[in-house]
Structure 1
Amino acid sequence: MNKPKVCIMLSTYNGVKYIDEQMESLLVQHEVDVQIIIRDDGSSDGTVRKLNEYAKSHPDQIRFIKGENLGVIGSFFELMCQTEPVYDYYAFCDQDDVWKPDKLSRAVTKLQLSQLNVPLMYCSSTQMVDQDLNNLSVWPTLPPKPLSMYNAMVENCCVGCTMVLNPIAFEQVRGSIPSDLNPIIMHDRWIYLYVSAFGEVIFDEEPMILYRQHQGNVLGGSNEGWLMKWKSRLKRFLSEGSFRLSRQASVFLETYKDQLSAQQQRDIRRFLNQLDNSWIKRIRYASKMPFYRHTSLDNLVLKLIYILKKV
């Protein structure tokens, strides 16, 4: 029996410090035929030299593309465009994590359980670790609410480096990437939004990667008091940039208006149009909007930033 062919799309940028650990964990994946396409996004350290060595030593498994600097969003979408639609599954990968040996085989098994002929996406919790791979905490935990478009429009709970797509999801997203990427908050948020709107998202609460946290990007706050959690969430949501959620929603509606259901179109339009109404009407809409985040606190912050026209 042939092993499933999985293409891993890896974007790198000045990642020489941890790239060996990541690459070795990709090359020892169990029970799948792994092909790795790497795009370097203009590194100035030793990343390119290191990756050229891997490509030379694994010519049948690794394809290396030395690209110009596009930023993380542009680099991953360019990777999708550079990847031929000939594989059984497609995975995204960051440069400094470590994958468990059965990450891909577990994802494939769960995707195969779905008999639906629709876009499918697997994602999982991560074991967050420090720079030396010491365990910190598991994040994100199993979402308590449905993984639907109504969540994906205002929140991302699918970590990009855990995502694995079936061919339908890969080809449909790849074939409709917007020409202007500025309104897109992040590539994984866009893909989660697409699959949740038109297919099915499968969340695995078993952490399948060691997700390295650096100074400045550590997630957490589990020891914070309620007031500090509120303040930190409000600050984080506002720091996403005014109107980024609404800008992305607007582009999504324009891109897929012919595919979205009539109800989906109405709900997205109302989300956008109510922002131009009086603050009283914004309060009324925010109190009963169909869009939601998973925790009660995050949901309250969503309503607040909507009323303040900061979405």
Structure 2
Amino acid sequence: MSACLEGLLRAHHVVILMATWQGAPHLGTQLDSIAAQTHADWSLVVSDDGSTDRTRQIVERFAADRPTGQVRLVDGPRAGATRNFLSLLDHVPPDALAAFCDQDDQWLPHKLARAVAALQGLAGPAHYAASTIITDATCAPWPHRAGSCGPWGSAMRWYRPAWRATPRSSTRLPWRCCSMRRRTRCGRG
């Protein structure tokens, strides 16, 4: 990565917003992938919606290993995933970028860096969407083909409307796979 691009990326703080509920089985993998991001100027706000498993303890242990204030654990609204994610928006300062994060994902190391670079220089609200790789529990990609139902039957569908929207234009991204019921997802960015 060029020195110019590295300086540009350091200038943008990203607040990662993670809504959790009973996420202990996959949460450690996602937290490790966040810690491994090449864009190091990030903070993480985790809103737990009343987990009774080890979710809160896993987040607290992760926070203890990070610089003070980089990771915060807050109580969620206990009103479902959508409201939990929406409540997290209150924790994003006006000059920061926000990145939504699922508890069962695994991000590739350049996910935040690529998002920051793509959004650089845009005026006003903008949205960046990355591709998704649907995987099994070991993060090995499922062998999908367009038009196939995949391992989840009719819940699996292929679609094209993954957009990177800017205030002035929209650019289509490659095909991506969406599942209503996922085991593990390794986010590609």
TM-score (ref. length: structure 1) = 0.46
Runs of 4+ that moved beyond 6 A: 138-142
Equivalent residue in structure 2 for 1:12, among 17, 20, 23: 20
Greater fraction strand: 2
Rounded to whole Å, the distance in 1 between the matches of 2:59 and 2:169 is: 34
- Please report how far the alpha carbon of residue 142 of structure 1 lies from its aligned counterpart in structure 2 after TM superposition: 8.0
Rounded to whole Å, the distance in 2 between the matches of 1:60 and 1:138 is: 44
Which residue does the alignment assign to 1:122?
128
User: Letter of the aligned partner of 1:205 in structure 2?
Assistant: P
Which residue does the alignment assign to 1:72?
81
Change (3 A) 1:74 1:30: same
- Please report how far the alpha carbon of residue 104 of structure 1 lies from its aligned counterpart in structure 2 after TM superposition: 0.9
CA-atom RMSD, angstroms?
Answer: 3.1
- Please report how far the alpha carbon of residue 5 of structure 1 lies from its aligned counterpart in structure 2 after TM superposition: 1.2
Equivalent residue in structure 2 for 1:23, among 1, 26, 31: 31
Larger Rg: 1
- Please report how far the alpha carbon of residue 99 of structure 1 lies from its aligned counterpart in structure 2 after TM superposition: 0.2
- Please report how far the alpha carbon of residue 206 of structure 1 lies from its aligned counterpart in structure 2 after TM superposition: 9.2
Equivalent residue in structure 2 for 1:213, among 153, 161, 182: 182
Which residue does the alignment assign to 2:138?
132
Rounded to whole Å, the distance in 2 between the matches of 1:138 and 1:104 is: 28
What secondary structure does 1:35 align onto?
strand
Structure having greater relative contact order (Cα 8 Å, sep ≥ 6): 2
Change (3 A) 1:33 1:201: farther
Rounded to whole Å, the distance in 1 between the matches of 2:114 and 2:158 is: 18
Rounded to whole Å, the distance in 2 between the matches of 1:53 and 1:34 is: 18
2:85 is the alignment partner of 1:105:
no
Which residue does the alignment assign to 2:154?
none
Q: How many residue pairs end up in the alignment? A: 161
Rounded to whole Å, the distance in 1 between the matches of 2:35 and 2:133 is: 20
Which residue does the alignment assign to 1:219?
none
Rounded to whole Å, the distance in 2 between the matches of 1:206 and 1:34 is: 29
Runs (5+) with no aligned partner, structure 2: 1-6, 147-156, 185-189
- Please report how far the alpha carbon of residue 19 of structure 1 lies from its aligned counterpart in structure 2 after TM superposition: 0.4
2:47 is the alignment partner of 1:34:
no
Rounded to whole Å, the distance in 2 between the matches of 1:40 and 1:77 is: 13
What secondary structure does 1:205 align onto?
coil
Which residue does the alignment assign to 1:221?
none
Rounded to whole Å, the distance in 1 between the matches of 2:108 and 2:21 is: 22
Which residue does the alignment assign to 1:83?
92
Rounded to whole Å, the distance in 2 between the matches of 1:83 and 1:134 is: 34
Greater fraction helix: 1
- Please report how far the alpha carbon of residue 141 of structure 1 lies from its aligned counterpart in structure 2 after TM superposition: 7.1
TM-score (ref. length: structure 2) = 0.72
Pairwise mapping of residues 123-202 of structure 1 onto structure 2 (< 5 A)? Answer: 123-136=129-142, 137=144, 143=160, 157=162, 200-201=169-170
| Percent identical residues | 28
Equivalent residue in structure 1 for 2:70, among 55, 61, 71: 61
Is 1:122–1:202's contact at 8 Å kept on the other side of the alignment? no
Rounded to whole Å, the distance in 2 between the matches of 1:26 and 1:34 is: 9
